[in-house]
Amino acid sequence: MSQSSMQAAVWYAAKDLRVEQVPVPTISDPHEVKVKVATCGICGSDLHEYAAGPIFIPVGKPHPISGEQAPIIMGHEFAGEVVEVGEKVTRVKVGDRVAIEPILSPNKDGAYQMERYNLTPLLGFHGLSGGGGGFSEFTVMGEHMVHKLPDDLSFEQGALVEPAAVALHAVRQSCLKAGDSAAVFGAGPIGLMTIEALKAAGAAQIYAVEVAPSRKAKAEALGATVVDPQQEDVVAKLQALSGGGVDVAFEVTGIPAVLNQALHSTHEGGEVVVVSIWEGEASFQPNDLVIKERTMKGIIAYRHVYPAVMALMQRGYFRAEDMVTQRIPLADIVEEGFEALLNDKAQVKIIVTPNH
């Protein structure tokens, strides 16, 4: 007899996340895979949904791909073991360890339909837009969303593939060349992983702009030179340190004033890559782009980078021991997970283990 109900963290409304018993999902399509979740990270966007959502969570109208709306199961940064596969699945088999690429985008027969599948207007995420999530014992998704985890990467490392993919995609989409300089504004999990991706890409100087002491320490430990905007004029300092401005600035805070700092920290012809999701408008003087021929571009999520992220992990990048500050059971997710992240800036990445 297989289990019929399981524990899951379900979002009902902002500040109303409930750990409750729900039915175990079953495979309904021959290209689907059922995964027993081992590890699932709590993400900054999960925190926004918890504190002030809905942002991505569909409310009052189902998501066109998942067909579901709130209440929905959360958790999109996860890894686990394949426990069942549909009859047409070829990418993985029962017993495989996998990292999940949670992007909901038009798909058919176990494959995304668009080359740039993260740019669909229907974009959603497994664990934010319905269809199940990683904050549960089991979840089911199409085989295009699972990637076999190399044997030498732990499940904890597997839960970090998703945020590392955001960082690696941001650096790969930038104009950075080996030997260039870069500044990363914000040293939360994505900012720290952007520092790592920049190292992998061969950046010669990496500056991190951050105020929280624990995050400053982590950025420094990863090899970045830290500038604290509460202690000095960030733009002047970065201009001085880099000899006239950095080649590329990454904005990872979502704070309007910081967008301007990022812009001004680059030299003429430099580039600003906007990684944050914004709560509202942010203004800047277009002449700051025009007169210096700077470029500003945005990136959303990732595409086609999971294999590269895992290969870099095998070479020692994006290490779990540098990011994970706490491991908790699913039952404790509200107090020890979401509330802890809101109240304790020393926390970086908290990993939930739904089957322990």
Q: Which residues bind Zn ion (CB under 5 A)?
A: 43, 45
Complex with Zn ion: residue 45 or 66, whichever CB lies closer: 45
Residue 238: what residue type? L
Residue type at position 93: K
- 5 phi and psi angles, rounded to 5 deg: -130, 160
Minimum Å distance from CB 337 to Zn ion?
14
Residue 33 or 301 having the CB closest to Zn ion: 301
Strand partners, 37: 80
- List, in order, residues 6 or more apart from 287 with CB less than 8 Å away: none
In angstroms, give the least distance from the CB of 307 to Zn ion: 19
Cα distance between residue 63 and residue 126, in whole Å: 11
**Pairwise CA distance, residues 182 & 222, whole Å:** 14
Q: What angle do CA 196, 149, 22 make, to 5 degrees?
A: 105
* Shortest Å, Cβ 101 to Zn ion: 12
Query: Closest CB to Zn ion among 193 and 235?
Result: 193
What torsion do the CA atoms of 329, 334, 338, 339 make, to the nearest 10 degrees? -120
Least spacing, CB of residue 78 vs Zn ion, in Å: 10
CA angle 355, 48, 57 (to 5 degrees): 75
Nearer to Zn ion, 43 or 340 (CB): 43
Q: Compare residues 43 and 99 and give the one whose CB is closer to Zn ion.
A: 43
Q: Which is nearer to Zn ion, 45 or 105 (CB)?
A: 45
Distance of alpha carbon 331 from its chain centroid, rounded? 23
Question: Residue number with the shortest CB distance to Zn ion?
Answer: 43
Q: Which is nearer to Zn ion, 207 or 306 (CB)?
A: 306
H/E stretch holding 326 reads strand 324-329
Three-class secondary structure of residue 233 per DSSP: coil
CB of 177 to Zn ion, least distance (A): 28
| Dist. CA 328–CA 342, nearest whole Å | 16
Indicate the residue among 50 and 207 with the shorter CB distance to Zn ion. 50
Shortest distance (Å) from residue 134 CB to Zn ion: 10
Q: Helix crossing, 189-201 with 213-221: angle to 10°? A: 20
Which of residues 134 and 142 has its CB atom nearest to Zn ion in the complex? 134
User: Smallest gap, in angstroms, from Cβ of residue 245 to Zn ion?
Assistant: 30
Considering beta carbons, is residue 56 or 207 the nearer one to Zn ion? 56
CA nearest 84: which of 163, 177, 3? Answer: 3
Least distance CB 16 / Zn ion (angstroms):
20
Q: How far is the CB of 77 from Zn ion (least distance, A)?
A: 5
Q: Are 271 and 294 in contact (CB under 8 A)?
A: yes
Three-state secondary structure readout of 39-97: EEECCHHHHHHHHHCCCCCCCCCCCCCCCCCCCEECCCEEEEEEEEECCCCCCCCCCCE
